[in-house]
């Protein structure tokens, strides 16, 4: 059955991690779902690169963090925070492409 | 080892906190009050300009409650990254506010300021010795970047704060600081585990954000023991749960298990989070790994120009269907119309409704909205020239003829008159680098002061 990430997660957010990196957190509603998504391996570097139109090397990491039932991806910011061309100084509104991701669970 | 109690009144001095929560914290007789005041989050402007992202009125309100309580309870009060960005100008503003409070209340205490601002010539010397390296995705740094910076600070660790306490300061206004350091330093000085002290500091520096519902402007209490720490929010309406605390460890960092700081890294991979009471969570198992080479994180900011913006909108389906093309052509037209002037400017259009929020990261590239908001954004060497370019861009776009145009009255809706706004100086981060250094106390000089009955002596 196909389901969207926004139905599986309690938190989907983005935020600066320093002025040059942006970090995306997905905190799942329960451990079972988290473990299922991790086992399927659907949230990975190529997926994040595709969602945000990035080169593979611009996705710095995708980390599973079991204590919080969370998956965290960190990407290179399009520019240093506040540089010319900035769109989101705090990086707090870059999460939306994750919300409608669809999976077969 | 007695339990050491740390009161964190608020996430940033100047963000406010409810007095009721604060009094509940004081009733528990804390051994330390500490607060972080800074962040790079609001961008490079504050570090570069010497201004604060909090107001004097808000800071004075928070600080006066904290200072009065610290004097009554005779406990240390440590403020980290004073004034926001933690440069000397920022610390100086905070010191002025502290002295005003002392005078108005007739208070007596000893206090210290700790400088975190660095001399450019010293840093240029260190760069030549290859002691400065980029952090994460930060670009390389040149001698020119350092020279052009209007302010460069480094995040101090716990060592300079411990030194200031040893030297007799009760209140400390530290310049740029590793966020957990104001909480951890006094505990480490008394012999508590650095791993637990720093991990606890990492949670307390955000005040009640790790609670449910979370808040960066309400009080949190930390309880530090020999092999554990616990945390509990001080407002009865909030609680800490294993999930809320574990989730907080993810916030604003690239790797949730390994949190590097000056002098070492805390490792959370073996941590246990236990629900101790309905509102209190206990944590054990944090490990501290001392770094082989001691480093501090540098943050620098430099002036890049002056900004003028024009906020406007468009509701025409024909215009919107061609908007990318129209704006590209417009950039060329503006350059032509300004030939013979300086030509040294950056003209950008932020188009809300298209990709205003995500820019090049936006995956929905072909959406055609029914209306768009446009910011004409110009940065140039002088304010006057930025306004010139913005004004020419505005009038050119207003009357620009595009294919199939029907609405010949004008292409833009302006909510304001005047339509342009001068946004002032624009800065960019010029340094986000690690500086190798083995003298973590010496490079952050301290100045001590004594206030007696409100007077600086």
pLDDT digits (tens, 9 = 90+) for B195-242: 999 999 999 999 999 999 999 999 999 999 999 999 999 999 999 999
In order of B112, B205, B228, B255, B280, the CA distances from B200 in angstroms are: 24, 9, 10, 17, 13
A87 in contact with B at a CB cutoff of 8 Å?
yes
A72 in contact with B at a CB cutoff of 8 Å?
yes
Q: Report how far Cα B253 is from the mean position of its chain's Cα atoms.
A: 14
Low-confidence ranges of chain A (pLDDT < 50): none
Asked whether residue B105 carries a pLDDT value surpassing 90, the answer given is yes
Candidate CATH numbers 3.90.1150.10, 3.30.70.1130, 3.40.640.10, 3.40.50.150; the one for domain B303-427: 3.30.70.1130
Mutation to test the B interface, candidates A9, A18, A79, most B Cβ within 10 Å: A18
As a whole number of angstroms, the distance between CA B154 and CA B81 comes to: 10
Q: Which residue has the tokens 């206090």?
A: B111
Pick from A18, A25, A52: CB nearest B40: A18
Asked whether residue B333 carries a pLDDT value surpassing 90, the answer given is yes
Mean pLDDT for chain B overall: 96
**Residue A98 CB-density burial (10 A; 0-12 exposed, 13-18 middle, 19+ buried):** buried
pLDDT at res. B252: 74
Q: What's the pLDDT tens digit per position in B137-185?
A: 889 999 999 999 999 999 999 999 999 999 999 999 999 999 999 999 9
A61 in contact with B at a CB cutoff of 8 Å?
yes
B428 in contact with A at a CB cutoff of 8 Å?
yes
Asked whether residue B340 carries a pLDDT value surpassing 90, the answer given is yes
- Mean pLDDT is lowest, of A92-96, B3-7, B132-136, B167-171, for B132-136
The ipTM of this complex is 0.95
pLDDT at res. B63: 98
Q: Which of B53, B32, B29, B31 is nearest to B43 (CA)?
A: B53
Domain segments of chain B as ranges: 4-116+155-294+437-456, 303-427
B249 in contact with A at a CB cutoff of 8 Å?
yes
pLDDT at res. B289: 95
Asked whether residue B269 carries a pLDDT value surpassing 90, the answer given is no
B286 in contact with A at a CB cutoff of 8 Å?
no
Q: What percent of chain B has pLDDT over 70?
A: 100
Query: Which residues of chain A lie closer than 8 angstroms to B44, CB-CB?
Result: 19, 80-82
- Residue B405 Cα, gap to closest chain A Cα (Å): 29
């Amino acid at each position: 059955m196909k389901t969207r990430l926004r139905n599986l997660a309690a938190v989907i957010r983005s935020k600066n991690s320093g002025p040059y990196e942006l970090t995306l957190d997905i905190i799942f509603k329960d451990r079972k779902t988290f473990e299922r998504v991790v086992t399927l391996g659907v949230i990975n570097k190529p997926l994040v690169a595709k969602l945000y139109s990035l080169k593979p090397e611009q996705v710095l990491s995708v980390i599973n963090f079991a204590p919080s039932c969370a998956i965290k991806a960190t990407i290179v910011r399009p520019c240093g925070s506040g540089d010319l061309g900035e769109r989101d100084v705090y990086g707090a509104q870059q999460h939306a492409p994750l919300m409608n991701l669809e999976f077969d669970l | 080892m007695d339990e050491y109690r740390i009161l964190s009144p608020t996430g940033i001095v100047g963000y406010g906190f409810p007095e009721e929560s604060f009094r509940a914290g004081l009733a528990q007789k804390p051994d330390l009050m500490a607060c972080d005041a800074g962040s790079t989050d609001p961008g490079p402007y504050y570090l570069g300009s010497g201004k604060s992202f909090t107001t004097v009125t808000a800071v004075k309100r928070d600080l006066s409650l904290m200072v009065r309580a610290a004097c009554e309870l005779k406990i240390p009060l440590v403020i980290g990254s004073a004034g926001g960005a933690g440069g000397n100008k920022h610390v100086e503003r905070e010191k002025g506010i502290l002295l005003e409070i002392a005078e108005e209340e007739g208070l007596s205490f000893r206090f210290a300021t700790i400088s975190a601002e660095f001399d450019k010539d010293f840093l240029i010397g260190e760069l030549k010795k290859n002691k400065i390296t980029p952090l994460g995705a930060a670009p390389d740094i040149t001698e020119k970047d350092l020279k052009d910076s209007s302010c460069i600070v480094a995040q101090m660790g716990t060592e300079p704060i411990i030194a200031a306490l040893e030297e007799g300061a009760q209140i400390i206004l530290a310049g740029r600081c590793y966020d957990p350091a104001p909480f951890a330093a006094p505990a480490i000085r008394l012999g508590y585990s650095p791993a637990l002290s720093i991990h606890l500091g990492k949670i307390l520096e955000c005040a009640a954000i790790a609670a449910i519902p979370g808040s960066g402007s309400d009080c949190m209490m930390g309880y530090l023991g020999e092999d554990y720490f616990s945390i509990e929010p001080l407002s009865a309406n909030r609680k800490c749960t294993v999930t809320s605390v574990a989730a907080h460890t993810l916030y604003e960092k690239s790797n949730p298990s390994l949190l590097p700081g000056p002098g070492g890294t805390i490792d959370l991979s073996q941590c246990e989070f236990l629900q101790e009471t309905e509102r209190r969570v206990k944590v054990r198992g944090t490990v501290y790994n001392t770094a082989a080479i001691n480093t501090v994180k540098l943050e620098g900011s430099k002036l890049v120009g002056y900004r003028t913006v024009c906020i406007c909108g468009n509701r025409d389906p024909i215009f919107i269907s061609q908007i990318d093309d129209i704006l590209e052509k417009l950039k060329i037209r503006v350059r032509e119309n300004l030939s013979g002037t300086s030509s040294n400017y950056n003209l950008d259009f932020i188009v809300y409704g298209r990709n205003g929020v995500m820019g090049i990261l936006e995956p929905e590239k072909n959406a055609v909205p029914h209306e768009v908001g446009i910011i004409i954004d110009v940065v140039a060497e002088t304010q006057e020239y930025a306004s010139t370019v913005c004004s020419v861009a505005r009038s050119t776009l207003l009357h620009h003829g595009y294919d199939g145009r029907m609405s010949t009255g004008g292409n833009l809706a302006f909510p304001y008159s005047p339509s342009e706004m001068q946004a002032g100086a624009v800065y960019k981060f010029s340094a986000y680098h690690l500086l190798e250094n083995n003298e973590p106390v010496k490079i952050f000089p301290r100045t001590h002061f004594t206030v007696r009955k409100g007077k600086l002596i």
